[in-house]
Chain A
Amino acid sequence: MNKHAHATRPTRREFLKSAGTAGAVALTIGFEWAGPARRSFAAASSDASASAIFSPNTFVRIGSDNTVTVIAKHLEMGQGAYTGIATVLAEELDVDWAEVRVESAPADAKRYANLAFGTLQGTGGSSAMANSWTQLREAGGKARAMLLSAAAKQWQVPVGELAVEKGVVYHEGKKRKATFGQLAATAAALPVPGSVTLKEPKDFKLIGTRPPRVDVVAKSNGTAQFTIDVSLPGMLVALLKRPPLFGATVKSFDPAAASAVPGVVKIVQVPRGVAVVAKSFWAAKQGRDALEIEWDDSHAEKRSSAAIMDEYRRLADRPALPARREGDAGQAIKNAARTVSASFEFPYLAHAPMEPLDAVVQLDGHSCEIWAGDQFQTIDQANAARTAGLDPQQVNIHTLYAGGSFGRRANPGSDYIVEAVSIAKAYGADGTPIKLQWTREDDIHGGLYRPMFFHKLQAGLSAEGRLTAWRHVIVGQSIVAGTPFAALIKDGIDSTSVEGAANIAYAIPNIAVDLSTTNTGVPVLWWRVVGSSHTAFAVEAFFDEVAHAAGQDPFAFRRNLLEHQPRMKAVLELAAAKAGWGSPLPKGKGRGIAVAEAFNTFVAQVAEVSVDEQGQVKVDRVVCAVDCGTPINPDIIAAQMEGGIGFGLGAVLYGAITLKDGRIEQDNFNGYRVLRMNEMPKVEVHIVPSTAPPTGVGEPGVAPLGPAVANAVFAATGKRIHVLPFSSVSAA
């Protein structure tokens, strides 16, 4: 507990690499991509195979019709991964953007592992572009080199005399030319080059521009295919009745009334409850409503969330484990001329993606086909195989567009996938396709929430107003404990509980960050920006209180302690400048600033709020500055910042899942409020120019939004926010 520096923050890369070798997640063996049983539901993929004559690697195919099909190992859940992936590969390939198609990769960690995760295939931690960057540039560059060699061979000229533009190879000006499609057959017979020279950033034609999203048309005319849209011959629909309390199980059930509903085919019991399998959603829904189940809740979580928070508050004063130690914070606080302290309470949060969870499973004795907006392909494959009693190689996953996720579809237990497989198995594993459909109530009640957290902070200031000490105690549930990702926990510290806090960027001589990990029966999961969804709030809202106590401007106080953090400082300064920091605002309005790093992306935001006489908070404007390395597609970066701000704002204003005697008190979007159109602030996004390797943008925009708004509320009203959510402050 003393002066040794204790950096317990493995990188996300280390974390997932270790998770991959933890043993509980079976690794997968490769599939042949093509083949009659391997058909993909997505219409986009059916046209390519016929004309695909050049497949230089596992990421691209070129057809004789010049179409370029990029194979995406990452899920497209709105974050723009398909477009980003295609952009990077197409850049080095020098192809016409209009010819580019994207298709999802099968589950195969050998070819499609997330390199930031080690040996797992999956999407998360805002890693899609960061881990694909070099891999896909090389894939595109090598394919291009082979097409050039093909032209050189055909025309008997040196490669050096050739030029390429938008999928066409030219010789001697434009005297002789051939399209990639015309060269594909020849290129296919050539060896793959061992290495390739990648473009200099100054030569980029697509990267840094705004090519339209590859999914924008299908998502504007209703043709984009989500899991809910899958229709297979003879397919049935299942709804599952789950226990009302976490940890309860089925004691007995009476299927009579449910079976009597027209269209209901079968009632089956599975580990997670009782499923009604029917010919339509409506029949399954009516059947489930009629189902009578007696539950055994002897092992269930029966506490209320208020009681759990009471326990957390007490734990904050008990010994905890060190997550970070610099100097001696305890002594420095004793020596401080002034101290500041505050605590913060964060509720459980549901992800509530617009598409309620769903999966289609077709299971027989020797194969299991799964259609889903699948985010953890090889984990889901392993869990599905275990549930079905098959080998992972016998489980084939068709990844479709996901109607949002925000982390929900990436769960180590593969909850909804396992449910669907267990229902198909209980049904008889006879090859009947079954679609498991969750309702919104299932989603809100379904657990795997962002954990509840309690934070207690104390700071010490010198007589001159210098920040000398920082103590931070975090109390809450571990996301990874008890999962195959538990390898992440080092010396008792789950890094997803302390990221954004243990690595506080400010130059403070004495720092102590402690973690007290709790246990509850409420299942929890990562939620957009993971630990920083609460740590960034606690750190940045409290930092504002400290600045105020020191009598300093909150922007200047931050900047002065970020001299050694150039990228963080730069976004802070950019946001402040663009927002007109320091310029006067009318009465009832306030401006707040916050900055955060998440997944190696730096984001600062300035929020402007109005608070009316009733204390109602309205966010008018958010100015956002982001440094995510090389901006691959500035329009998608802006979209992710805008979306992260709206998502984060809904959560801090309204988001709370609460339990009363173990029962979830919210059911749908009435009780679990999210942001709506009339509450969306004006957002301006400014991107820092950079040639550093790209980092992610799906999550980091969420981190500074809450504290920026809370700090703005203080500026407008003099009131601090310590309990979330807060749509109003007391008018007193």
Chain B
Amino acid sequence: MAEKVLMKGNEAIAEAAIRCGCRHYFGYPITPQTEIAAYMAKRMPKIGGTFLQAESEVAAINMVIGAASAGVRVMTSSSSPGISLKSEGLSYMAGCDLPALVVNVQRGGPGLGGIQPSQSDYFQATRGGGHGDYHMIVLAPASVQEMASLTAKAFDLADKYRMTAMILADGTMGQMMEPVELAEGEVRPIEKPWAASGTQMTRPHNIINSLSLVPEELEKLNFARYEKYQTVIDNETLYEEYMMDDADICVVAFGIAARVSKNAVIAAREAGIRAGMIRPITLWPFPAAPVRAAAAHCRAFLSVELNMGQMIEDVRLASECARPAYLCNRVGGMIPSPELVLAKIKEIYGGVK
């Protein structure tokens, strides 16, 4: 029987990672995710794993590259400014088709910003962050339980598709405490014949590399990678729909914004407004299909985000601008209240013809 424990979001990620066979963590302290590093520092030595506090987030992501290239499950974690530092590494990982988990517990930005929660790295996560054509699988937990279960999912998807998976959490998810059901410890190592694990003199050497100087070859690599991405889009898109069957106004929100918006949707229904919510769980691939379907019967979309309007662009793209899309947002570490979202829903309901 699986145990249920009261855990902090950050620690739930760390424990879940260990339970799905991750034995290597490289990180650097930054608020509000340092608990992940601290937890790993305590746990990893006890189970023969690696915990290493690197000299920088740059060094940490490159250590991840080294371990991922060697064919083991490995992760790092940081928060917004630290993820910017990792951007070069993320591009290299995509170019080398390396699986790994990168956790971003977002804080207010840009620049040094603040230490309170935000969702302002949506573009950075879903549009790549680093240079070149690539994507990461981006997962957005909305509960401490999801911080744990999406961690396991992230590792599985990363290994299956040889991609980097990112958990895009916000500071509230990292810091809040909720009951979590953790998977029973079972290491599931998968074969990685492509890894730089040592030839043992039994095979030709493996090369983990993103350099390709012949344009025709580099083009082929890019097209092949995007064919792979299409498979991910077709098979791994995750989302949750709440009261969408007869919805008139469609709220789209992820993470903490979805928690808040759910309350607002319930309140709207009580006020006689048929509101509903689509909660993307994968931000990449973005759940375009349900958004497109919602455009058929909803009069408007309301994107609730802790940023200046980022996911709203994907809402517009997915619905092909068939309906107006409005933004309800707080930034800088402020969190929208259900009352704020409800007020916006009422405003849309009253104003849209």
Are A and B a genuine interacting pair, yes or no? Answer: no
Name B residues whose Cβ lies closer than 8 Å to a Cβ of A: none
